Every structure is written in structure tokens, then in C-alpha cells.
Amino acid sequence: MTADLIILNARVLTMDDSTPRAEAVAIKGNRLAAVGDEATVRALAGPQTHIVDAQGGTLLPGFVESHLHLFSGAYGQTLLQLGDTRGFDAMQAAVRAFAAAKPNEGLLFAQGADYEILGPGTRLDRHILDQMCPERPLAVMAYDFHTLFANTAALSAAGLLHGRDLPEGNEVVMGTDGRALGELREKLALLPVLDLRSSGGREMLGMSGIEPPVPPTAAEWREDVDVLKAGLRFCASKGITSMHNMDGNRHLLELLRSVEQEGGLIARVSVPFHYTRAMPLSELERASAMTRDFTGDWLTSNRVKIFVDGVIESGTAAMLHDYAGQPRHRGDPIFDAETFAKAAIEIDRRGMQIAVHAIGDAAVRIALDGYEAARKANGPRDSRHRIEHIEVIDPSDIPRFAELGVIASVQPLHAPQGESPTTRSIGPDRAQYAYAWRMLHEAGAVVAFSSDWPIVAVDPLLGIQTALTRRPYLQGQPDQRLPLIEVLKAFTRNGAYVGFMEDQTGALRQGMLADLVLLSGDIETTPAEEISELGVKLTICDGKVTYEG
């Protein structure tokens, strides 16, 4: 056998416990033909073999981005990004420049804003936004996508200026004058404003679980396919070969199928069905149909996403005890325990995986209780149900992850590095069980790391660096960092396991799919604080080069 591609002179970290290290790999077609010492691999070279000298760089399984929002992340590159903006003057200048560049846009839309973008202890409202943009509708999405700040023009156009009754967990915050203050919390409060966009808000449709109410035009379809291609190329430049999207519907799957037919699907993509509390259980037949219709190694479904609560910053995360400094406020869950358990039982009965957004410790318990109810009702199976984020957890629930086979899907860049609205709301009493990744790992849970793009940057190297350099934000709290190899597994092998692909990818072993990433240096000798400065030299998915740096 002659290899198609050989990578030599590499620091190969295989993520395979039986053979954790190697010097070289050979690829034939879309499979790894050999992983071993240089002499063994060189023997597979022929006249047509392409040979890459890694120059001592680390070779890893391709990164598995196990929690992101591909379309909104890619589409967001065309919007006003405020992640690095601080202060009124800087924000006003950015808004006015964006408005001048978008004279025909129905809604001036900004993303990535810190809750305290104007300074510590401040909060955006419609009056402040009116000063920046008084005439055209303007909306500013907080970086976590759970709170939207809108000016008076946007609130009026969306029919929200005088408030609106919404299901629990969603809120139009009202001012003392009987009008909306400009702060909109959670999905059902946000969507009326997002619908003002010239796009019709179609880039957010997967978040609601519905299909487009009006079929896209041919031009819109073309635009959306091109947006997805751009997003996939960007992710490939970060070494990503597999991704688990966290919003979805059949429309998104059909768009991705078009991408695949045009040869642009350069990563393996899993898309869920988004189930909301307003849906009857019969709607899950749509999820089952998506599962049946999209199978294979490239484009799959077989997963249901559910939001059980909101986020700590806006007070919508569900806590077992009062928020620090806010007596009698614990946050209302979007799904109560009984309603979620019924949904979990039905989804599990249909054989699908469940991924639950649960940030507060009360929401985490609702999810675990629901998974336990599903196991009792349907019998044990290899379900690999997931909980996303887990920013606060009650210590009694930590061992339940391993007991129930539940995946801890967490994001290193979400953990606060100092005092913030999040840490102030958590308070000192709960701090030791906040972002408790090491505790979960040591209790036997499978921990998968990811980004949650576009909430934070989609960059596994930055995530690895953050996971390794994180410090407790309060003195005396436990160190929740994991060793380098465990962090790398959380971005590779564990992510593959979460996606039921551990026999195909996530490790470098003869016969497995050829999904790899080659870094520009040796990650083991690079100081932890400098890992994000390493470059991606080569990304290979299914034996094909998808990015070359």
C-alpha cells in the first residue's frame, strides 16, 4: 500500500491511551494508514505521496467544536461587533459609523456587548440608545445572546414599547413610566425586534425551533449557503473538523445539504431539533424525521436542544437559593421539572440524544432529574444526554453525571476571570461550585470543552490556553483546572464521544477517519499563557486538506 499523504517530524499526541505518542502518520484515502515511528511511516511513501515536514509541531486529532452556532456566528461577521468596545463615546462612534454604512438596513444590529459596556454598575436602556441613534431602530445583543437592548424606535416598531405578556423566563423589562425600559430578556422577548431586520431574522430561526414562515427567495438561499461556507472555512482555519451546532431546524439541514452538494461541507456537522416549552410533544415527530433523513459521517441530526433556564447576568438562570444580594430572587426556569421530565422521557423513548442549556444549579437539577426519569421510564441505554454550560452546580449533583452517563459540556471562555455581574450574583457561598470542571472530571464525568461561538471566539487554542491558565476569582476557592492532556481530550476525543463518533474520529489510530490538525509548535513545551499564539499549519478532514496556514 502506498500512502497519499505522510506527515513526518511531528510531536504526535494521539489521544489514544494505548499508544499516546507517535512520530509520524500516513493517510490513504480518507483513513489513517499508519500512526507510529518515522521509519514505519516512511516505508509507505511512493512517487505520488505528498510528504509534509511538521518541523516539530504538534499533530492532534482534529478539534471537535461541540457547542457552537454556525450560521449566526458566520452571519455575525457582517454585523456591528462590540466585544472590544468600552464607554459611551466609543460605542456611539461605532453605532453611528455602522448606521452610515447600512443606510437601507431595517434594524441596526450589534452583537457582543458586555453587560457593563458603559462602565461598572451601568446598564444599557432605550434612553441611552436613543442618544446614539434616535431615529432608526437599533438593537444591541449582549454577548451571551440572552438579553437584547433596544432603542425606542425598535421597541415601537416591534410592538413592545408598552410591554407584552410572555411565558415564564421571558420578559420585557418595564420602566417606572409604564413603558419598556429597553431591556428584553430571553428568546420570546427578543424575536419581535429581530424580525425587523432586513433578513427577516431568518439567521435566528433555528433558535426558535420553527421553520421559515415564508420560504426564502433564491437570492436569500444563495446568500445563506455562502454564509455557511464562509463559516465552515473560518472554523477550518482554527483546526476544527467536527462541530455540534446548538440551534437548528430542517431548514438549516437543507441549507447544509446544499453546501455538501456543492463540495463546501469541509467539517462534520450535527444539527439538533430545537424543542420549546410551547410545543406539544407531538412536535417531536419532526425531530425523529430529521434524524431519519440525515445520517452518515458528514451531516446528522438525532439530537434535541432544550433551554431550561437563561443566564446569570440577567437574573434568568434558575438557582436553588437566592441570588447574592437579591433576596427572594432565584430566577424562573423556562421548563419546570414536571414538564421537562415529560419531554425527556419522550425524546429518550424515540432514541435521540438530549442537549440541555442549564446554567443555574436549579436548572442543572431539573435536567438531571429529567434524565433519571427517562432512564426509569424507558430503561438504561447509551443515551449520552448532555448538559451545556453548568455554571453553578449543587455538590450533591456532581456524582450524578457519571451515575447517569450525562456529558458535562462546558466552555472555558465563559468562566469569569475577575469580579463581574456574574460573580456578584453567584456570591462567595456558591463560588466553589461555579464552573466546577475538575470536580466533575474527578467524579467520573465525561467533560467536553467548546466555545459557544459567537458568544465567544471560536478558537480551540484560545480555549485550551484559558482552561490551563484559569485562576479562582475568589481567594481560597478550589483550582478547577485540568492537566494539558485532559484539556486536549476535552477538545478532541471527548467531543467525538459526545457525538457517538469515538470509533471513527477524535483519536489518531490506524483505520480511523483522517481528521487532523497540525500546529506550528510543540504545545507541550509552549508556556500555557502563549498557547493561543501557536498557529494552525494544516487542517485535514476526511483525508483532504481543508486549511493550510
CATH assignment at residue 291:
3.20.20.140
Residue 16 sits in a domain whose CATH number is 2.30.40.10
Nearest by Cα to 374 from 413, 347, 398, 345: 345
**How would you label 100-114 residue by residue, b for 16+ Cβ within 10 Å and e otherwise?**
eebeebbbbbbbbbb
Of 237, 211, 230, 220, the residue nearest 73 (C-alpha) = 230
Residue 7 counted as domain residue: yes
Strands in 108-113's sheet, in edge-to-edge order, are 80-81, 108-113, 138-142, 147-150, 180-185, 171-174
Quote the pLDDT of residue 205.
58
pLDDT at 527: 98
Q: Helices (H) and strands (E) in the chain — how many of each?
A: 18, 26
Identify any residues that bridge with 447 across adjacent strands, giving them in sequence order. 408
What gap in Å lies between CA 99 and CA 134, rounded to an integer?
A: 11
Tell me: pLDDT of 204 over 70.
no
Q: Give the DSSP H or E segment for 150.
A: strand 147-150
Residues 483 and 423 in one domain: yes
Interval 285-312: pLDDT, tens = 999 999 999 998 899 999 999 999 999 9
Which triple of cell numbers denotes residue 127? 434612553
The SS3 call for residue 218 is helix
Whether residues 50 and 136 fall in one domain: no
Task: Tell me the pairing of strands 240-245 and 171-174.
Answer: unpaired
| Predicted pLDDT of residue 443 | 98
Based on the fold, state whether residues 480 and 331 are members of the same structural domain: yes
Is the separation of the CB atoms in 450 and 517 below 8 Å? Answer: no
| CA dist., res. 456 & res. 308, Å (int) | 21
Handedness of CA 247, 174, 430, 308 (dihedral sign): negative
Q: What is the distance between the alpha carbons of residues 123 and 403, in angstroms, rounded to a whole number?
A: 42
Give the number of C-alpha atoms closer than 13 A to the C-alpha of residue 351, restricted to the C-beta side. 7
Is the CB of residue 256 less than 8 Å from the CB of residue 262? no
Query: With contact defined as beta carbons under 8 Å apart, do 308 and 334 qualify?
Result: yes
The whole-angstrom separation of Cα 336 and Cα 306 is 12
Among 170, 197, 224, residue at a domain's last position: 197
> Looking at the structure, do residues 432 and 512 belong to the same domain, yes or no?
no
User: What are the pLDDT digits (tens) for 366-396?
Assistant: 999 999 999 999 999 999 999 999 999 999 9
* Position 414 in a domain: yes
Has residue 207 got a pLDDT over 80? no
pLDDT at 107: 92
Question: Can you tell me the mean pLDDT for 158-171?
Answer: 91
Number of domains in the chain: 3
Q: Same domain for 125 and 168?
A: yes
Q: Which residues pair with 273 in a beta bridge?
A: 304
DSSP-based three-state secondary structure for 393: coil
Return the higher-pLDDT residue of 474 and 400: 400
Backbone φ, ψ for residue 33 (5° rounding): -85, -30
Res 203: pLDDT: 62
Here the CATH number for the domain that contains residue 190 is 3.10.310.70
* Domain presence at residue 56: yes
Position 225 in a domain: no
Whether 510 and 495 map to the same domain: the answer is no
Q: Mean of the pLDDT values across residues 454-479?
A: 92
pLDDT for position 26: 98
Domain end call among 172, 197, 222: 197
Answer for the pair 269, 65: CB distance below 8 angstroms, yes or no.
no
Same domain, 491 and 535: no
Q: Are residues 309 and 421 in the same domain?
A: yes
| Whole-Å CA distances, 163 to 155, 156, 274 | 9, 10, 26
Residue 376: inside a domain = yes
Mean pLDDT, rounded, for 101-109: 90
- The pLDDT-based confidence of 212 (bands split at 50, 70, 90) is confident
Q: What is the mean pLDDT of residues 234-248?
A: 97
Q: How many angstroms separate the Cα of 116 from the Cα of each of 420, 457, 492?
A: 9, 19, 34
Alpha helices in 165-240 (DSSP H): 187-194, 205-208, 218-236
Residue 238 within a domain: no
In the chain, the amino acid numbered 119 is G
pLDDT at 160: 95
Same domain, 478 and 519: no
How large a percentage of the chain has pLDDT more than 70?
98
Confidence category of residue 106, pLDDT binned at 50, 70, 90 = confident
My answer on whether 545 and 483 are in the same domain is no
pLDDT at 403 over 90: yes
Residue 444 identity: G
Predicted confidence (pLDDT) per residue in 79-99, tens digit: 888 888 999 999 999 999 999
Whether the predicted pLDDT of 200 surpasses 70 = no
Assess whether pLDDT exceeds 90 at residue 230. yes
Cα separation, 172 vs 314, in Å, equals 12
CB 498, CB 446: distance < 8 Å: yes
**Residue 522 sits in the same domain as residue 471:** no
Q: For residues 452-466, give the mean pLDDT.
A: 94
Is the per-residue pLDDT at 213 higher than 90? no
User: E-strand spans in 439-481?
Assistant: 447-449
Tens-digit pLDDT profile for residues 19-62: 999 999 999 999 999 999 999 999 999 999 999 999 999 999 99
Which residues span the domain enclosing 35? Answer: 1-62+506-549
Q: Residue 126 has what pLDDT?
A: 95
Instruction: Please indicate, yes or no, whether residues 493 and 392 belong to a single structural domain of this protein.
Output: yes
List the beta strands (DSSP E) in 394-514: 407-410, 447-449
- 270 in a structural domain: no
Cell match 430578556: residue?
185
- Whether 515 and 534 have beta carbons less than 8 Å apart is answered as no
The whole-chain average pLDDT of the chain stands at: 94
72 located within any domain: no
Cα distances from 364 to residues 55, 209, 319, in angstroms, run 45, 22, 9
Count of beta carbons in the 10 Å neighbourhood of residue 29: 13
Query: Nearest-5° angle of CA 101, CA 139, CA 459?
Result: 80
